[in-house]
C-alpha cells in the first residue's frame, strides 16, 4: 500500500494499492537491468565461430607466459630470443586471466569463461547505476533510466564481452570508488577505517590501470584542500593513512619491478614507446581502426620482429628511454604537427569517430548531455560535482598525448550515461512534460528509497 497523488482524482490523498507489475519492476530494478545487460552482451557469443572472439591482447599473452613460465614475461612478437621480464602492462588483469588459463587448460574453453565473466562485470556496472545515483545525490529513478539505456545500447560491445582488456574491470572499480568517496566527502568521514579501506580500494584500481594513479593523487589532494578548513591535523592523518594503504597494495608490484629491472618502476615501463608511437610522421589520433595502425605495425614490438629483438636485447627500461628521447626530439622539431595531433586526440577522446554513424552520433550526444547534466548539479551536489570533474580531468589528460582508443575512454563512460539522464530529466521538467507527474514520481522515489 502506498500513498498516490492522482491529479485526475479529487481524492488526492487516497491510499491505493500499487500495481503488482510496477511494484515488482521498482523493487527489482537493479536485477532487471543486470539481466538485460548480461543477455544483450552474452547473446552475440552464442554460436559464433571459435576464433572470432579469441583473446589475443598483450594482457592475455602475459597471462599465458605466467602460466607457462611462472613469470611476468614480455608479450612481444616471437623472435627466437628468450622472453624477458616486462612491465608493459599492469598486473591485476593478467593475473586474473592467468588464474583462468591455469584452471582451464583448453584455450577455447578458457576464453569462453573469460567472455562470460566480462559480460557479468559489464552488466554489474549498469545494475549498480541506481545505487550510484543515490550515492551521488541524484534520484534513483535517474540511475534506473541510465542503467536500462546502457543495458540495451552496447556501444562498445567488444569491450564489454570479449575480455581482452581491463576496461570493464577498471570501469566497475572506478564506479564503486567514486560513489564511496563522494559519500565520505559529503559526510566529512575521516575515520581510520574508511581512510585505510579507501586507500586499499584505490591501490587495487591502480593495479588494473596506471591512469587511476592520476585520479587518486588528484582527488586525494582535493580532499586535503576541502577538509583542511575544518580540521587540518585530522585530515592530514586520514590522507596519510589512505596514501599508505594504497602504497601497501602497490608495494609487491614495485618490489617485483626492482628485482626485475633494478630500477624504481611504480606502474608501467612503456611510456616512452607509447609516446613515440603517437607522435611521429605516421601517427594518427586513434588506433581503433585498421587504417590508423601504420606506426603500430612498423614500430611496436608486438608487431615488428626487428623491434621485438631490439627491446629484448637492451631491456624494456633502456628501450623505452630511447623511445622517449626520440618522441621528445620529434615533438620539438615538429611543434605544429604535434599541436594538430594533440587537438585531434582531444576531439577523438570526447567524440570518437566510427565508420558506423550511429556509433559516432549517439555517444557524442551522451557526451554533450553528460557534461550538461554534470554542471546542473554543481550547486546542489558540490561534493559529487567536484570529485567527478577532478576525476575526469585527471583521467583524460594523459590520453591527449597518445593515440586514442575507445577502451581508454570506457572507464568514465558511466558518468556521462548517468548524467545524460540528469540532463534529459531537467529538460523534460523545464518543458513541463514531467511537471504534472512530479507528485507520483516523488512518491515512487520515496518508496523506492525506503525499500532499498
Reported pTM: 0.89
What pLDDT tens digit does each residue of the chain (452 aa) get? 443 433 334 333 444 444 555 566 667 899 999 999 999 998 776 655 444 456 678 999 999 999 999 999 999 998 878 899 999 999 999 999 999 999 998 988 999 899 999 999 999 999 999 999 999 999 999 999 999 999 999 888 889 988 999 999 999 999 999 999 999 999 888 899 999 999 999 999 999 999 999 999 999 999 988 877 777 888 899 999 999 999 999 999 999 999 999 999 999 999 999 999 999 999 999 987 665 677 888 899 999 999 999 999 999 999 999 999 999 999 999 999 999 999 999 999 999 888 777 778 888 999 999 999 999 999 999 999 999 999 999 999 999 999 999 999 999 999 999 999 999 999 988 887 655 555 665 565 555 555 55
The DSSP letter of residue 109 is: H
Q: What is the dihedral of CA 212, 274, 255, 394, to 10 degrees?
A: -20
Residue in the block written with cell 593475473: 95
Q: Do 72 and 85 meet the contact criterion of CB atoms below 8 Å apart?
A: yes
Among 410, 338, 383, residue whose Cα is nearest residue 157: 410
Give the containing element (helix H, strand E) for 3.
strand 2-3
Between CA 163 and CA 48 the distance in angstroms is 16
Between CA 206 and CA 250 the distance in angstroms is 8
Where in the sequence is the domain holding 408, given as residue range(s)?
Answer: 2-451
Among 20, 125, 45, residue whose Cα is nearest residue 411: 125
pLDDT value of residue 407: 93
Among 59, 62, 78, 79, residue whose Cα is nearest residue 70: 62
Q: Identify the burial level of 430 via C-beta atoms within 10 angstroms of its C-beta, where 0-12 means exposed, 13-18 middle and 19 or more buried.
A: exposed
Number of domains in the chain: 1
Between CA 26 and CA 447 the distance in angstroms is 9
Phi, psi for residue 155 in degrees, rounded to 5:
-65, -30
Among 75, 64, 76, 74, residue whose Cα is nearest residue 105: 64
Amino acid at each position: 500500500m502506498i500513498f498516490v497523488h492522482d491529479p485526475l482524482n479529487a481524492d488526492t490523498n487516497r491510499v491505493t494499492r500499487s500495481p503488482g507489475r510496477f511494484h515488482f519492476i521498482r523493487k527489482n530494478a537493479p536485477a532487471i537491468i543486470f539481466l538485460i545487460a548480461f543477455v544483450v552482451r552474452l547473446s552475440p557469443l552464442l554460436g559464433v565461430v571459435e576464433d572470432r572472439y579469441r583473446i589475443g591482447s598483450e594482457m592475455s599473452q602475459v597471462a599465458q607466459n605466467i602460466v607457462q613460465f611462472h613469470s611476468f614475461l614480455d608479450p612481444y612478437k616471437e623472435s627466437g630470443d628468450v622472453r624477458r621480464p616486462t612491465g608493459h602492462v599492469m598486473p591485476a588483469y593478467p593475473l586474473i586471466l592467468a588464474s583462468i588459463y591455469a584452471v582451464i587448460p583448453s584455450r577455447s574453453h578458457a576464453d569462453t569463461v573469460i567472455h562470460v565473466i566480462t559480460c557479468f562485470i559489464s552488466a554489474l556496472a549498469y545494475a549498480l547505476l541506481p545505487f550510484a545515483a543515490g550515492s551521488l545525490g541524484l534520484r534513483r529513478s535517474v540511475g534506473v533510466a541510465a542503467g536500462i539505456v546502457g543495458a540495451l545500447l552496447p556501444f562498445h560491445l567488444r569491450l564489454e564481452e570479449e575480455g581482452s582488456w581491463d576496461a570493464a574491470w577498471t570501469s566497475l572499480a572506478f564506479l564503486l570508488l567514486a560513489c564511496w568517496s563522494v559519500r565520505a566527502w559529503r559526510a566529512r568521514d575521516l575515520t581510520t577505517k574508511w581512510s585505510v579501506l579507501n586507500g586499499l580500494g584505490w591501490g587495487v584500481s591502480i593495479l588494473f590501470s596506471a591512469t587511476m594513479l592520476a585520479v587518486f593523487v588528484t582527488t586525494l589532494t582535493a580532499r586535503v584542500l576541502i577538509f583542511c578548513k575544518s580540521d587540518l591535523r585530522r585530515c592530514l592523518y586520514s590522507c596519510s593513512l589512505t596514501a599508505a594503504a594504497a602504497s601497501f597494495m602497490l608495494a609487491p608490484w614495485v618490489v617485483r619491478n626492482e628485482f626485475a629491472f633494478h630500477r624504481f618502476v611504480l606502474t608501467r615501463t612503456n611510456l616512452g614507446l607509447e609516446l613515440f608511437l603517437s607522435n611521429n610522421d605516421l601517427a594518427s589520433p586513434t588506433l581503433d581502426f585498421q587504417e590508423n595502425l601504420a606506426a603500430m605495425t612498423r614500430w611496436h614490438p608486438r608487431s615488428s620482429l626487428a623491434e621485438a629483438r631490439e627491446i629484448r636485447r637492451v631491456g624494456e627500461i633502456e628501450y623505452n628511454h630511447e623511445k622517449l628521447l626520440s618522441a621528445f626530439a620529434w615533438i620539438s622539431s615538429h611543434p605544429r604537427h604535434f599541436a594538430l595531433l594533440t587537438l585531434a586526440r582531444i576531439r577523438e577522446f570526447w567524440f570518437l569517430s566510427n565508420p558506423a554513424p550511429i556509433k559516432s552520433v549517439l555517444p557524442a550526444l551522451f557526451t554533450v548531455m553528460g557534461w550538461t547534466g554534470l554542471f546542473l548539479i554543481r550547486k546542489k551536489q558540490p561534493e559529487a560535482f567536484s570529485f567527478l570533474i577532478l576525476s575526469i580531468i585527471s583521467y583524460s589528460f594523459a590520453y591527449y598525448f597518445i593515440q586514442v582508443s575507445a577502451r581508454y575512454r570506457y572507464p568514465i563512460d558511466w558518468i556521462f550515461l548517468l548524467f545524460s539522464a540528469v540532463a534529459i530529466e531537467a529538460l523534460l521538467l523545464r518543458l513541463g512534460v514531467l511537471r504534472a507527474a512530479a507528485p507520483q514520481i516523488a512518491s515512487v522515489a520515496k518508496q523506492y528509497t525506503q525499500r532499498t
